[in-house]
Chains A and B, each alone.
Chain A
Amino acid sequence: MANNQIITITDLHLYYGKVEALKGINMSIARNEVTSFIGPSGCGKSTLLRCINRMNDLIDNCVVQGNIYINGIHGLDGNIYDKNVDINALRKHIGMVFQKPNVFPMSIYDNIAFGPRTHGVKKRSDLDIIVEDSLKKAGIWNETKDNLKKSAVSLSGGQQQRICIARALAVQPKVLLMDEPTSALDPLSTATIEELCENLKEQYTIVIVTHNMQQATRISDKTAFFLLGEILEFGTTEQVFQTPRNIQCENYITGRFG
Chain B
Amino acid sequence: MTIQQNTTSKFIHVRERVIKYSLFSSAMFSVIALFAIVVFLLSRGIPAISQVGLWKFLFGTDWNPNASTPVYGIFPMILGSIYVTGLATIISLIFGLFIAIFLYKFCPKKFRSTIEQVINLLAAVPSIVYGLFGIMIVVPVLREIAPNFVGHGILASSIILSIMVLPTIVSISLSALRSVPRELYEGALALGATREQSVFKVIFPAARSGVYTAIILSIGRAIGETMAVIMVIGGSPQMPTSLFQSIDTLTALIARSAREESGFLVEVLIAVGVVLLFFALILNYILMKIKERKVAHNYKIQLKKNNEKANRSTIVGLTKFIIIVQEYWKIFWQTIGKSIKFVLTKPIYYFAYLLKITRLSLLWYKFWAWIDTWWSVHNRQTIKYKILKWWTYIASTCGVLMLLAILYFIISGGLPYLSWEFIFGKYTLDNPTLMPAIVGTLIVVGIALVIAIPIGVACAIFLSEYARQARGVKYLRLAIDSLAAIPSIVYGLFGFIVFVGIFGWDYSLIAGGLALSIMTLPTVIRITEESLLAVHHTYREASRALGASKVRTTFRIVLPSSLSGIGNAMIQTIGRAISESAVLILTIGMVVGVMPSNILSPGTTLSLNIYYFGNTLYPDQAAATGVVLLILVLILNLGLSLIVKLLSKKQGK
Contact = CB atoms under 8 A, between A and B. Distances in A.
Contacts of A207: none
Given A88-B548, A91-B547, 11 more contacts: A88-B549, A95-B546, A96-B545, A100-B538, A104-B543, A115-B548, A120-B3, A121-B3, A121-B4, A150-B652, A172-B2
B652 A154 contact: yes
Contact of B4 (A58, A95, A119): A119
Interface string B10-36: 001100000000000000000000000
Contact of A92 (B1, B7, B546, B560): B546
B544 A55 contact: yes
17 contacts: A55-B545, A89-B9, A92-B547, A93-B547, A95-B546, A104-B561, A105-B539, A105-B561, A114-B546, A115-B546, A116-B3, A118-B552, A119-B547, A120-B8, A130-B1, A164-B542, A167-B542
Contact of A102 (B468, B539, B651): B539
Contacts of A121: 3-4
Contacts of B1: 126, 129-130
Interface in A159-175: 164, 167-168, 171-172
Given A98-B541, A119-B3, A120-B3, A60 B651 contact: no
Contacts of B6: 75, 86, 89
B9 A102 contact: no
A196 interface: no
A114 B548 contact: yes
A74 interface: yes
Interface string A35-55: 000000000000000000101
Nearest to A91: B547
Interface residues of A, number: 43
Interface centre among A61, A86, A88 (most CB of B within 10 A): A88
A153 interface: yes
B5 interface: yes
B651 A153 contact: yes
A81 B269 CA distance: 61
Contact of B651 (A90, A130, A151, A172): A151
B547 A153 contact: no
Interface in A47-99: 53, 55, 58, 60-61, 74-75, 86, 88-93, 95-96, 98
Interface in B360-375: none
Which range holds the interface residue count of chain B?
A: 20 to 34
A91 B546 contact: yes
A89 B5 contact: yes
Interface centre among B7, B546, B549, B561 (most CB of A within 10 A): B546
A92 B540 CA distance: 15
Contacts of A120: 3-4, 7-8
A252 to B, nearest CB: 28
B557 interface: yes
A114 B556 contact: yes
Contacts of A95: 545-546
Given A61-B469, A120-B4, A151-B651, A55 B547 contact: no
B305 interface: no
Nearest to A153: B652
B110 interface: no
B182 interface: no
Given A102-B536, A172-B3, A153 B543 contact: no
A257 to B, nearest CB: 31
Interface string A231-244: 00000000000000
Contacts of B312: none
A124 to B, nearest CB: 12
